[in-house]
Amino acid sequence: MQYRSLGRTGVQVSVACFGTMTFGWEPDDWGTHEKDCYKLVDKALDLGVNFFDTADVYARGTSESILGKALKGKRDGVVLATKCHGKMSDTDPNMWGNTRRHITQACEDSLKRLKTDWIDLYQIHRPQPSVAIDETIRALEDLVRAGKIRYAGCSTFAAWQVCEAHYVAKHLGLSGFVSEQPPYNLLDRRIERELLPFLRTYDYAVIPWSPLAGGQLSGKYLDVKPKNARYSTTDPQKRVNRATTEAIRRYKIIADRYELSMTQLALAWVANQPGITAPIIGARSEQQLEDSVAACQLQLPEKAYEQIDRVVEPGDHLIDYYSANFGPNVRPSI
């Protein structure tokens, strides 16, 4: 297993981060059977994966609970990451967001579900411009000083929002964020415009989510939509469309040229982009997990990068993954 530094922290994490978003959902709704979750975590550890990512909002806490059980007796060797921000109650208007009140309560709840005394990387799941960033940064610093989290990070922030948080923390003499978790794949490369250059410049860890674009880049939607896949029955954002299908066909030609699977091409490409720490991979079977972990450690031929850039140009996109509340005058799409 290859290991990389978690940004400027020096903590070593596996080049593949095992994401557990499917834990806790019904298998018929693209989820993973609970008994299989435990097997997958054990398999990941056997493969050398030491980096696990979840969030409180995944199945309203069930993902965290399952992961906590799966890591019982194995916690010390793991870098455990989770997130807060998402709506955790249908009745309490304060059970979401980036306020001190919610962050403090959400962290306590996550610690209980994960059955741990500390969280290695506690991430703000989405930006919330209506809450002053110093409120968020101060709350996270309090958790660090209390020993409840080791580091703080953010997810799907605009470049200006990470920059603001960086300099507010510097001004206040606080730790601030050490990582960003953005969407990044061969169909949405927009973080290459401003976000990724900023993160590289200031030595932030970069932990891309959806490197396979919801499974599209595995090629499984090219012919007949598979059952129990993410976009099999619902696709409100129309991410599976004519343009993406055509691009994936072109990527498949490149993969075939180098005797690679589509998954290998997509994951190896993300994992080896400058500044990337560890793509978040998901799996519903041990073989799928093993293949994805191996793919993150592959090196692509230099010519493959040139050919890939002709399909979707650097900084361009065909589908909308990199979207959140990027400011008061921007309409959020997710």
Is 330 within a domain?
A: no
* Domain membership of residue 126 as a residue range: 3-309
Residue 333 forms part of a structural domain: no
What residue type is assigned to position 80 of the chain? L
pLDDT at 223: 73
In a domain, 314, yes or no: no
Q: Is 293 within a domain?
A: yes
Residue type, 316: D
Pairwise CA distance, residues 58 & 54, whole Å: 7
pLDDT at residue number 81:
98
Average pLDDT over residues 17-21: 97
Classify residue 264: in a domain, yes or no: yes
Question: Is position 315 within any domain?
Answer: no
Is 328 a domain residue?
no
Q: Which of 297, 300, 290, 323 is nearest to 18 (CA)?
A: 290
pLDDT of 334 strictly over 80: no
In a domain, 332, yes or no: no
pLDDT in the model for residue 196:
98
CATH code of the domain in which 9 resides:
3.20.20.100
- pTM tops 0.85, yes or no: yes
Active site (catalytic) residues: 58
**148 pLDDT above the threshold of 90:** yes
Mean pLDDT of 296-318: 97
Q: Where are the alpha helices (DSSP H) in the chain?
A: 34-46, 62-70, 100-114, 133-145, 159-172, 195-201, 242-257, 262-271, 286-295, 302-309
Mean pLDDT of 159-184: 98
Report the number of distinct structural domains present in the chain: 1
> Residue 192 corresponds to which amino acid?
E
Tell me: the pLDDT tens digits for 39-91? 999 999 999 999 999 999 999 999 999 999 999 999 999 999 999 999 999 99
Q: Which whole-number Å values give the CA distances from 328 to 4, 87, 131, 132, 174, in the listed order?
A: 36, 20, 11, 13, 26
DSSP state string for 43-75: HHHHTT--EEE--TTGGGGHHHHHHHHHTTTTG
- Positive or negative: CA dihedral 250, 252, 253, 258: positive
- Residue 328 banded pLDDT, cuts 50, 70, 90: confident
Lowest mean pLDDT among 20-34, 105-119, 127-141, 240-254: 20-34
CA 117/CA 108 separation, integer angstroms: 10
